[in-house]
């Protein structure tokens, strides 16, 4: 379904209701499932969190599990299934999920005694799991291409008889997400130590009877969109909920990142804007679109995890900006635009590649080019299912075809 902006409100001051962080919510769901089954927890309406809930339920029934396009669900469910001794089933997903490697996690689990076999390739889904009790021990991991592999191990490690120790040969990608997991678990009473060189999780299971809902947070990866909408449309003053002061999420740095990028854009020198997104990969796409529609030269680095996401985000962004007439240069870890055409192309229909962040990021460009259209707008359901509804509440009107 294609979306086109019918009208943009001339001015308003309002608030978008942001979704719960699926990153935190999915971690809390696993922790509740394993350690606090009777404790109250609100499940996010983000599709990833709904799939997480379904997967954990399926583990209890022994059914095969379809994680669809949810990488987080695939990795967390694999780890939980490996220690569920009543589970003997298959985990599979979409065609894209079958292209995304899970081998680092599977190899680590098998090394400490798990029984997981690949059904097709030796890197990705589908996989067959025979759950069993694991004793844990020590692992040495050379390269971690996804922080979720480490988080998955952390979440189940307190069940191991001997706990878990991991030595990292190099700093894992997206380390702030591993820190998020560590801080969340510490706040609930688990015992662990984390550095860029190693991780130790002790076999200690805390007891709690209080609700886990106070650990839920709004999604700061989603907060970037109302923030940048306000920047691109000065008469539209959007506010966000909650406070960044106590957030566990690295993406709560979004205000500081915006301030840095704006300061560089206003600098007297003509150097391109530079920023390292290695700690904030989910914020790269909206800021690429924000700079592009403002015609600011930039070079963003630290993007090495983007090709392995819901789509190859570097390729996708390069392709969609090319529709506008913008030439960009990409490497395995960077995205750069040095010059812009005098005028952008007209009659552009953006593709979203079934990627929620592509859809919301490209919408930022449409604020300046309202004749542009966006395909597959429903893909926002993965993280922000009410994105379009929240904008309509504030006066936006859309046409769907």
**pLDDT tens digits along 272-281:** 999 999 999 9
Task: Please report how many Cα atoms fall inside a 13 Å half-sphere around the Cα of residue 217, on the Cβ side.
Answer: 21
Handedness of CA 32, 38, 40, 46 (dihedral sign): positive
Burial class (CB in 10 A: 0-12, 13-18, 19+), 266: exposed
Pick out the chain residues at pLDDT < 70.
240-245
H/E stretch holding 141: strand 137-141
Domains and their CATH numbers in the chain: 3-19+218-400 (3.65.10.10), 22-204 (3.65.10.10)
Give the pLDDT score at 244. Answer: 56
* Residue that the structure tokens 């189940």 belong to: 156
DSSP 161: T
Backbone phi, then psi, for 267, in 5-degree steps? -65, 150
How much helix, strand and coil, in percent to the nearest 5, is found in the chain?
40, 15, 40
Catalytic residue IDs: 282
**Nearest Cα to 361, choosing from 387, 400, 334, 337?**
387
Give the pLDDT score at 36. Answer: 95
Q: Could you tell me the two tokens for 306?
A: 């983007």
d(CA 241, CA 253): 15
Give the pLDDT score at 267. Answer: 85
d(CA 250, CA 176): 6
d(CA 291, CA 298): 7
Q: Strands 329-330, 349-350: parallel, antiparallel or unpaired by DSSP? A: unpaired
DSSP 234: T
d(CA 32, CA 256): 33
Q: Could you tell me the two tokens for 378?
A: 């429903």
Give the pLDDT score at 123. Answer: 86
Give the pLDDT score at 241. Answer: 59
Task: Please report how many Cα atoms fall inside a 13 Å half-sphere around the Cα of residue 282, on the Cβ side.
Answer: 27
Give the pLDDT score at 159. Answer: 98
d(CA 341, CA 325): 7
Spatial contact of 139 and 164, defined as CB atoms under 8 Å apart: yes
Hey, is 294 helix, strand or coil? coil
Task: Please report how many Cα atoms fall inside a 13 Å half-sphere around the Cα of residue 274, on the Cβ side.
Answer: 4
DSSP 44: P
Q: What is the pLDDT of residues 199-250, one digit of tens each?
A: 999 999 998 778 899 999 999 999 999 999 999 987 777 776 555 567 899 9
Q: Model's pTM, two decimal places?
A: 0.94
């Amino acid at each position: 379904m294609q979306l086109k902006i019918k009208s943009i409100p001339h001015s308003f001051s309002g608030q978008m209701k942001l979704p719960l962080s699926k990153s935190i919510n999915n971690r809390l769901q696993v922790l509740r499932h394993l350690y606090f089954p009777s404790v109250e927890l609100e499940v996010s309406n983000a599709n990833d969190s709904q799939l997480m809930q379904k997967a954990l339920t399926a583990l209890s029934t022994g059914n095969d599990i379809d994680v669809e396009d949810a990488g987080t669900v695939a990795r967390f469910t694999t780890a939980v299934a490996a220690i569920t001794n009543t589970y003997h089933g298959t985990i599979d997903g979409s065609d894209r999920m079958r292209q995304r490697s899970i081998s680092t996690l599977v190899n680590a689990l098998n090394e400490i005694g798990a029984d997981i076999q690949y059904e097709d390739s030796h890197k990705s889904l589908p996989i067959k799991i025979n759950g069993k009790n694991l004793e844990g021990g020590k692992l040495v991991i050379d390269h971690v291409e996804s922080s979720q592999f480490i988080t998955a191990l952390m979440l189940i490690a307190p069940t191991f008889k001997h706990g878990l120790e991991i030595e990292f040969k190099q700093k894992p990608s997206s380390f702030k997400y591993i820190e998020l997991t560590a801080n969340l678990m510490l706040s609930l009473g688990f015992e662990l130590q984390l550095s860029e060189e190693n991780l130790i999780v002790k076999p200690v299971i805390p007891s709690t009877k209080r609700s886990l809902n106070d650990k839920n947070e709004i999604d700061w990866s989603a907060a970037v969109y109302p923030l940048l909408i306000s920047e691109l449309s000065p008469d539209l003053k959007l506010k966000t909920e909650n406070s960044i002061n106590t957030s566990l999420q690295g993406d709560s740095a979004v205000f500081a990142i915006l301030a840095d990028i704006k300061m560089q854009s206003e600098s007297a020198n003509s150097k391109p804007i530079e920023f390292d997104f290695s700690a904030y990969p989910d914020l790269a796409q909206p800021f690429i679109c924000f700079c592009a529609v403002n015609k600011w030269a930039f070079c963003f680095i630290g993007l090495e995890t983007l090709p392995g996401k819901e789509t190859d985000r570097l390729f996708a962004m390069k392709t969609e900006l090319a529709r506008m007439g913008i030439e960009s240069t990409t490497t395995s870890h960077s995205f750069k635009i040095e010059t812009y055409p005098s005028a952008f192309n007209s009659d552009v229909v953006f593709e979203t590649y079934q990627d929620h962040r592509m859809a919301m990021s490209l919408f930022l460009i449409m604020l300046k080019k309202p004749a542009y259209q966006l395909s597959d707008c429903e893909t926002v359901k993965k993280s922000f299912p009410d994105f379009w509804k929240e904008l309509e509440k504030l006066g936006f009107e859309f046409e769907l075809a």
